[in-house]
Amino acid sequence: MAIGLSMDAFAVSIAKGLALPKIKVKHICLAGLYFGAFQALMPLIGFFLGSHFSKVIESFDHWIAFALLAFIGFNMLRESFSEDSKISPDFSPWPMLILAVATSIDALAAGVSFAILHVNILGTCCIIGCTTFLFSAIGVALGVKLGSHCKTIAERLGGVILISLGAKILLEHLGVF
């Protein structure tokens, strides 16, 4: 479950790494901390909300994730076709917060199911958070390596990945697959 929940953060971390000219420990740690913390926190919140609110959360969480990821992805695509083609290397709190929330909404829903299954929530959240930290850190480093060789193509690919992640979340929740 931890690996599955961390895949969205991994893909977004690759996209963020594409914007960086070289690997910096600061960026690796920031991505890991933001994504890992939110992936750990959201199941805990979902657990405490429990099954009472599950129908309300399930009714719109996929739309929020889709809108945020699609917006970011379309902006990346638009920027890749402009003359100043570059992905925002912004690791400041607001953009990272938006990405962390968008990639962890599924973890909130998972937390609701953990409440129903009577899972050890603290241990589970720690495993999810640590796994996501690791995958996010690796993703940033991988993005830097990819971006230094094929910046424009990688930027476009990053935009498509973010839009695809949003569409995947939306389609899964709508029952398409």
Can you spell out the DSSP letters for 5-41? HHHHHHHHHHHHHHT-SS--HHHHHHHHHHHHHHHHH
What is the average per-residue pLDDT within 66-86?
70
Mean pLDDT in the chain?
83
pLDDT higher than threshold 50 for residue 85: no
- Span 98-116, average pLDDT: 83
Question: Nearest-CA neighbor of 111 among 48, 43, 41?
Answer: 43
For residue 44, pLDDT over 80 is answered with: yes
| Better-scored residue on pLDDT, 35 or 87 | 35
The pLDDT, as a whole number, for residue 168 is 85
Classify residue 47 as left (phi > 0), alpha (psi -120 to 50) or beta. alpha
Over 90: is that where the pLDDT of 106 sits? no
- Which of the two residues, 100 and 82, has the higher pLDDT score? 100
Q: Are 108 and 45 in contact (CB under 8 A)?
A: yes
Percentage of residues of the chain with pLDDT beyond 90: 29
Instruction: Indicate if the pLDDT at residue 163 is higher than 70.
Output: yes
